[in-house]
Amino acid sequence: MTAMDKSEYRLENLSCASCAAKFENNIKNLSSVEEVQLNFGASKLAVVGNATVEELEAAGAFDGIKVFPINERRHEPILPFYKRKENVVSALSLLFLIAGTITSFRYSETYPPAIVLFAIAIVIGGAGIFKVGLKNLIRFEFDMKTLMTIAIIGAAIIGEWREGAIIVFLFAVSEALEAYSMNKARQSIRLLMDIAPPSAVVKRGVEMVELPTESIVKGDILIVKPGEKIAMDGVVLIGKSTVNQAAITGESVPVTKQQGDEVFAGTINEEGALEVKVTKLVGDTTIAKIIHLVEEAQAEKAPSQKFVDRFAKYYTPAIMVLALCIAVLPPLLGGDWQTWIYQGLAVLVVGCPCALVVSTPVAIVTAIGNAARQGVLIKGGIHLEETGRLNAVAFDKTGTLTKGYPEVIKFITAEGFEKERLLRAVAAVESLSQHPLAKAIVTYANSNGIKNVHASDFQSVTGKGAYGTVEGSTTYIGSIEWAKELCTLPATALKEADRFQREGNSVMAVVTDTKYSGLIAVADPIREESKAVLQKLKDIGVQHTVMLTGDHVATANAVAVDLGLTDVHAGLMPDDKLTKIRLLREQYGRVAMVGDGINDAPALAASSVGIAMGGAGTDAALETADIALMADDLEKLPYTIRLSRKTLRIIKENIMFALGLKIIALLLIIPGWLTLWIAIFADMGATLLVVLNSLRLLRVHK
């Protein structure tokens, strides 16, 4: 399906999985349509062709499905409970059912007024069912409503009017509950869609104009007041403020933003006024990409769902054959026709596959939506299921387990040198250096209150270090080997330097004129949360945690020991990481790779589940990984695995509920206890259990 000839639409009133399948099939039969994709979880339709909205709505008229262009911002009216059509229908049907039941108990079930009351209950509650069911029957299309229509007509023919009315009422309640539950499950996407404001104030020249976001272009300047939502992705030009990014990244603590910092559409400016230069169009913003990826993820069928779909394909015909056999064979062998036709109708009702059909998709939709709200983007049901089955997790070191930038760990001065004065001299020289470790030293000096010191005669010595003149003395900063060439290093200094290096630090010596004056140990510090995260992974059953890094063996081993990793592989190039992932999969089965989504792309692709850190604003992470942790928050990893495992457990429970209740009901045929109302109650009960059980996934939090 190409983007050029594809039209996308939002759908309303799409609450039934079997109705969605029929709607999709009806659209396929339109002469103006070449290809169609219907996303039940997201209530979204993609069509290749030139079908009009009227034609599409006509294809869904059987269930009152409404179609709207994808870019049309709509706020569905929140109707009170008593005004919802499905609830009104259920209530009226119940009213006449109660009246008919009271009348039948007072007189008899064959009393004409009682039959009329039951018939009215059937017509009110079942008009929609009959309309679709009879059409399907004529076309030999056997879905849930066809089975229900046959059962209700059969009940009326054999005089079981009360049973027919009970079936209709319970089915109406079931549909009302399913509509409510699916709306609840889809709410996560609706909330995402409402995050970004529809318009913004833009500065064009000296004018301030409010424009819809669709009219804002790259380079426009947004004026964002305190308390307002940022409408577009961009970069701060003027101002400083804290921005609440929870909607995008799941971070609970607001982030400080100032000139040059990136901001995202849908985030909230809390304190100061900002001027933001727009960098992405409305359809390309981070929140737009998240919505698109979440919707695509919910459309992708998970392995469990594919199994259920295949099973249901053979299950429904088998139930119909069984019902026919029960209705016909015993009477042919001498049984009572009315009794066994009644039993056959009950089997037809209890065999409705609706609970089985929704057992997986409602769980997948709910879990992926919950994860998106927590700042975790899961790109499909298959990845959700794979994450729930992980046996091992491999981590990149730099930027994943560590902060990804160097910091000064130790600054030691030799006897006779004042620490503050020496640090001032070192910072003055390093402020002129381009070496990666220089910035760490300058930052350390600034944090200790040392600023605005200048060095003259600066010189960088390739492979050794740098030097310059500060306050009349020449200060050298560089490798231990270079320092040995400049002066004699004390044995204690050499011993300390060796210890720091064994611990995985980069060590530099400081020489003032011709005297050794100090040591500086610099390292990429471990994230504060890394140790706790690895412990949580072990607690939830992930026993194998592995580090794959290009760093030196000594550095990698020091980090691995500190964090309690089970295995470490150091000195790896990107292709080496790919090889290691393949070996780990052979050894442990399902293995996740956690990396930055760019340098680790081959390993992410080769793993069972590729998990990228810091997906917000990083297109590469959103595109290459199966899962993106939007806030660069490693603590979301145990949450994601717990959510995935709970989803797997709930899917299994749902299938057991769906089939178990039906098997129990079918077994009631043996003693002759199965009635039509028990059959519909078993079907409705199974559907309700499945949906409510799936909604438990909304309660899984970090």
Domain limit, last residue, from 619, 642, 665: 642
What mean pLDDT is reported for the chain? 83
Closest CA to 592 of 612, 615, 622, 572: 612
Question: Tens digits of per-residue pLDDT, 624-681?
Answer: 678 888 878 888 999 999 999 999 999 999 888 888 888 888 888 777 777 777 777 7
Query: What is the structure's pLDDT at 184?
Result: 63
Supply the residues annotated as catalytic.
Answer: 396
**Is 83 part of a structural domain of the chain?**
no
- The count of structural domains within the chain is 5
Kindly state the tokens that stand for 433.
């250096």
Query: What is the structure's pLDDT at 463?
Result: 78
pTM of the model: 0.70
Strands (E), 500-583: 506-512, 515-523, 544-548, 567-569
Query: What is the structure's pLDDT at 276?
Result: 94
Alpha-carbon distances, residue 14 vs 41, 43, 80, 82, 147 (angstroms): 9, 7, 19, 20, 20
* Contact partners, residue 82, CB within 8 Å, separation at least 6: 88, 91
**Is 667 part of a structural domain of the chain?**
yes
Question: Tens digits of per-residue pLDDT, 381-418?
Answer: 888 989 999 999 999 887 788 887 889 989 999 988 99
**DSSP designation for 240:** -
Claim to verify: residue 168 and residue 245 sit in the same structural domain: no
> Alpha-carbon Rg of the chain, whole angstroms?
34
**Is 575 part of a structural domain of the chain?**
yes
At 96, the amino acid letter reads F
Cβ–Cβ under 8 Å, residues 324 and 229: no
Closest CA to 218 of 281, 282, 288: 281
Residue the block writes with tokens 């209700």 = 152
The arithmetic mean of pLDDT across residues 429-458, rounded, is: 87
Claim to verify: residue 490 and residue 515 sit in the same structural domain: yes
Q: Does the pLDDT at position 194 exceed 80?
A: no
CA 402 from chain center: how many Å? 25
Residue the block writes with tokens 């039940």 = 40
Q: Does the pLDDT at position 4 exceed 70?
A: no
**Is 194 part of a structural domain of the chain?**
no
Of the two residues 643 and 130, the one the predictor is more confident about is: 643
**DSSP designation for 526:** B
* Contact partners, residue 50, CB within 8 Å, separation at least 6: 32
Domain limit, last residue, from 503, 523, 543: 523
Closest CA to 302 of 387, 361, 372, 366: 361
SS3 call for 486: helix
Claim to verify: residue 207 and residue 261 sit in the same structural domain: yes
- End-to-end Cα spacing for the chain: 37
Number of C-beta neighbours around residue 545 at 10 A: 23
Q: What is the CATH number of the domain that holds 578?
A: 3.40.50.1000
Domain limit, last residue, from 523, 551, 582: 523
Output the DSSP codes for 115-152.
HHHHHHHHHHHHHHHHHHHHHHHHHT---HHHHHHHHH
Residue the block writes with tokens 């424009």 = 211
**Is 193 part of a structural domain of the chain?**
no
Q: Does the pLDDT at position 76 exceed 60?
A: no
428 pLDDT band, cuts 50/70/90, is very high
Question: Tens digits of per-residue pLDDT, 15-71?
Answer: 666 677 778 888 888 888 888 888 776 677 888 888 888 888 888 887 778 888 876
Claim to verify: residue 303 and residue 205 sit in the same structural domain: no
**Is 210 part of a structural domain of the chain?**
yes
What does the buried/exposed string (b/e) look like for 600-620 if buried means 16 or more CB atoms within 10 Å of the residue's CB? bbbbbebbbbbbbbbbbbbee
What does the buried/exposed string (b/e) look like for 7-35 if buried means 16 or more CB atoms within 10 Å of the residue's CB? bbbbbebbbbbbbbebbbebbeebeebee
How many Cα atoms are found within 13 Å in the side-chain-facing hemisphere of 167? 35
Claim to verify: residue 275 and residue 310 sit in the same structural domain: no
- The span from the CA of 328 to the CA of 341, in Å, is 7
The arithmetic mean of pLDDT across residues 461-481, rounded, is: 90
Cβ–Cβ under 8 Å, residues 486 and 475: no
- The span from the CA of 384 to the CA of 339, in Å, is 48
Cβ–Cβ under 8 Å, residues 294 and 369: yes
Spatial strand order in the sheet of 33-39: 33-39, 44-49, 6-12, 66-69
* Contact partners, residue 487, CB within 8 Å, separation at least 6: 511, 514, 515, 516
Cβ–Cβ under 8 Å, residues 650 and 693: yes
Cβ–Cβ under 8 Å, residues 663 and 355: no
Of the two residues 511 and 359, the one the predictor is more confident about is: 511
* Contact partners, residue 431, CB within 8 Å, separation at least 6: 438, 442, 453, 455
Query: What is the structure's pLDDT at 336?
Result: 84
Alpha-carbon distances, residue 522 vs 25, 78, 465 (angstroms): 64, 58, 14
Cβ–Cβ under 8 Å, residues 394 and 548: yes
Cβ–Cβ under 8 Å, residues 205 and 227: no
Query: What is the structure's pLDDT at 585?
Result: 92
- The span from the CA of 242 to the CA of 254, in Å, is 6
The arithmetic mean of pLDDT across residues 541-554, rounded, is: 86
Q: What is the CATH number of the domain that holds 231?
A: 2.70.150.10
Query: What is the structure's pLDDT at 525?
Result: 85
3 pLDDT band, cuts 50/70/90, is very low
Claim to verify: residue 180 and residue 300 sit in the same structural domain: yes
Of the two residues 504 and 66, the one the predictor is more confident about is: 66
Least confident of 203-212, 272-281, 479-488: 203-212
Claim to verify: residue 488 and residue 411 sit in the same structural domain: yes
Claim to verify: residue 612 and residue 669 sit in the same structural domain: no
**Is 1 part of a structural domain of the chain?**
no
Claim to verify: residue 469 and residue 599 sit in the same structural domain: no
Of the two residues 322 and 644, the one the predictor is more confident about is: 644
* Helical H segments across 589-635, by residue range: 601-606, 619-624
Query: What is the structure's pLDDT at 306?
Result: 67
Q: Which of 605-619, 655-669, 679-693 has the highest mean pLDDT?
A: 655-669
Domain residues for 442? 407-523
**DSSP designation for 252:** S
Output the DSSP codes for 371-418.
HHHTTEEE--HHHHHHHHT--EEEEEIIIIIB-SS-EEEEEEEPTT--
C-alpha dihedral over 598, 602, 604, 609, to 10 degrees? 150
Burial of 621 (0-12, 13-18, 19+ CB in 10 A): buried
**Is 357 part of a structural domain of the chain?**
yes
At 167, the amino acid letter reads I
SS3 call for 568: strand
- The span from the CA of 48 to the CA of 34, in Å, is 5
Claim to verify: residue 423 and residue 492 sit in the same structural domain: yes
Query: What is the structure's pLDDT at 270?
Result: 86
Claim to verify: residue 183 and residue 317 sit in the same structural domain: yes
- The span from the CA of 149 to the CA of 131, in Å, is 9
- The span from the CA of 509 to the CA of 518, in Å, is 6
SS3 call for 51: coil
Query: What is the structure's pLDDT at 483?
Result: 93
Claim to verify: residue 511 and residue 415 sit in the same structural domain: yes
SS3 call for 459: strand
Q: What is the CATH number of the domain that holds 509?
A: 3.40.1110.10
1 pLDDT band, cuts 50/70/90, is very low
